[in-house]
Amino acid sequence: MTWLIVTREVREFYRDGRFLFGAGLVAVLFITAFLVGYEQRQNVFSEREVAQQLDYDDWINQPERHPHDAAHQGMHVFKPIPPLSFVDPGITNYVGSTQWLKAHRQTEVKFRPAQDATGLQRFGSLTPAWVIQVLGPLLIIVLGFNSFSGEREQGTLRQLISLGVPSWKLLRGKALALFLGAFLLIAPLLLFSVWAVSGDDLAGSRHDTLIRSGFLVLGYLVYLGIFIFVTLAVSALTATSRISLIVLLAFWIIGTTLAPRALVDVARMVYPIPNQAEFNTQLNQELQREYAEAWQEHFGTDKRWGSDVPLSRWGEALRVDDYAGYDAIDRHFGALWDRYEDQRRLQEFFGLLFPMLSIRSYSMAMSATDFTHHRDFATSAEDHRRLIQDLISSNLTQHADGHGERHFDYKVGKEFWSKVPRFEYAAPAAFFALQGSLNSLGVLLASLLISIAFAFWSSRNLI
């Protein structure tokens, strides 16, 4: 009986042309976005591989010199491109993809763009995620706005109810029919998952990619499910299909364009973050204080790199200085990054009203392109920088400090350079993404349950 209702609905979508037009258009956009994104990823992917290799070659082949000079020149590390980034590029284009590992400071390049990370304004960029998040609900609305109200106008609803068909069965059938539409939209993503396991260019992360796309599909089904039940509820409550359409379009516009922008500002107000100049000033002040304290403690002077400390102790001093900085850096960046996460979480909660706010976050996390993943990369890069620093300061302590006043005549070559390992970064596994998405997924599931309850309540009395 349910299947009967489903096939009739689908037949109607199909015969009145809505399905071919709406779903066809959305599917074409989706596939285009998919191919464009994939193409770009392939290009950038190989570019980065090459750049990373060249940079490390430069490091290994640099001439003999004082290790600290080498540290000033530093090394560049490149963020690997997550396999699913072409589905949802997330903050990819807003944060730096390279990080400069150099002496003394965690570089700033990496968090300047990250300031925009939560203020992400991706509207207008054609990505598969955008198509599902924005056009997906529109497709559902176009297919479903007259589900009940149209039949009420037509008079067929009375006819159905007079047969003794329980309204919940009608609701279930209509919801399933709309899910078919939603499924059509998500099918390319599923196809990709299948292809991901059989493809060969994603070796190593294949399994993880499959799990991630599975969760991505799940999340999007929940997301579209929310719209399906809201659409049916509104259609059941409104007297005419014209009113249902107006109400639903208003909800769509607010939920997919206005609310996401407005909530970014709200989150910024609730959890303010310093601008870059302020952040740097504060960090510098803190660093100076830490440095002074450490130098005072070790060398009895608060003047760094002055004549009070003989050159024969500069290797040791470098180490003291570095370690004094690490704490301050961790504290400051940690606090800033925690703020970003607070902002994100706040927006996710508003997903109860506007589901796009939680799916946006969830989708980025599953695609490994959200801020949490970026943070993981930045932390690894910083660890690598510290590894280089520690190698250098201990080398200087062992060898250069013995040279006394001729400290800066000390030089190292290839043998030392190759002690610094390549930067090998593996993006965290799907489980990491899931842990970070408990909040957004929870909100999505709660919204789905609420919308289902709302739909059943609205359709309890259809005449």
Partner 1 sequence: MLKANSLTKNFNSNIALNSVSLSVSQGEIYCLLGANGAGKTTLINHFLGFLKPTSGEVLVNGKCVTSNPLDTKRDIAYIPENVMLYGVLTGLENLEYFSALATGRKKPRDVLRKLLADVGLPAEAAERRVATYSKGMRQKVGITIAMAKNAKALLLDEPTSGLDPKAANEFSRLLKTASENGVAVFTTTHDLFHAKETGNRIGIMRSGSLLAEFNSDDVSHADMESIYLKNMRD
Which of residues 203, 300, 409, 463 is near partner 1 by CB under 8 A? 463
8, 331, 406, 414: residue in contact with partner 1 (rule CB under 8 A): 8
- Does 277 contact partner 1 by CB under 8 A? no
Q: Does 15 bind partner 1 (CB under 8 A)?
A: yes
80 vs 150 by CB, closer to partner 1: 150
How many chain residues touch partner 1 (CB under 8 A)?
21
Near partner 1 by CB under 8 A: residue from 16, 57, 265, 293: 16
By CB under 8 A, what part of segment 152-171 binds partner 1? 154-156, 158-166
- By C-beta, is 73 or 156 nearer to partner 1? 156
- Closer residue to partner 1, CB minimum distance, 15 or 406: 15
The answer to whether 223 and 133 are in contact (CB under 8 A) is yes
Q: Is 101 left (phi over 0), alpha (psi -120 to 50) or beta?
A: beta
Q: Does residue 12 interact with partner 1 by CB under 8 A?
A: yes
Which residue's CB is nearer to partner 1, number 5 or number 267? Answer: 5
Exposed, middle or buried, 365 (CB in 10 Å: 0-12/13-18/19+)? Answer: buried
How far is residue 137's CA from residue 140's CA, in Å, rounded to a whole number?
5
Query: Are 221 and 186 in contact, with CB atoms under 8 Å apart?
Result: yes
- Which part of the chain contacts partner 1 (CB under 8 A), choosing from 10-18, 124-132, 263-271, 417-425? 10-18
In the complex with partner 1, which residue's Cβ is closer, 162 or 275? 162
Rounded distance between C-alpha atoms, residue 448 and residue 229, angstroms: 8
- Beta partners for residue 78, in sequence order: 98
Find out whether 290 and 282 touch, Cβ atoms under 8 Å: no
CB of 20 to partner 1, least distance (A): 13
Name the one range near partner 1 by CB under 8 A: 7-15, 28-36, 364-372, 431-439.
Answer: 7-15
Q: Does 240 bind partner 1 (CB under 8 A)?
A: no
Sequence-distant (6+) residues with CB within 8 A of 217 are 186, 189, 190, 193
Alpha helix ranges (H) inside 303-425: 314-349, 356-366, 371-395, 414-417
In the region spanning residues 97 to 156, those forming contacts with partner 1, defined by CB under 8 A, are 154-156
Report DSSP state, residue 351. G
Question: Cβ 18 to partner 1, closest distance in Å?
Answer: 11
Candidate list 4, 35, 197, 269; residue touching partner 1; CB under 8 A: 4
Residue 307, CB half-sphere, CA atoms under 13 Å: how many? 0
Structure tokens at 140: 């559902």
Q: How far is the CB of 244 from partner 1 (least distance, A)?
A: 18
Report, in Å, the least distance between residue 4 CB and partner 1. Answer: 5
CB 367 within 8 A of CB 84: yes
The pair of structure tokens assigned to 27 is 């599917």
Instruction: CB nearer to partner 1: give 151 or 322.
Output: 151
Choose between 6 and 441: whose C-beta lies nearer to partner 1. 6
Count of residues in the chain = 463
Interface positions with partner 1 (CB under 8 A): 1, 4-5, 8, 11-12, 15-16, 154-156, 158-166, 463
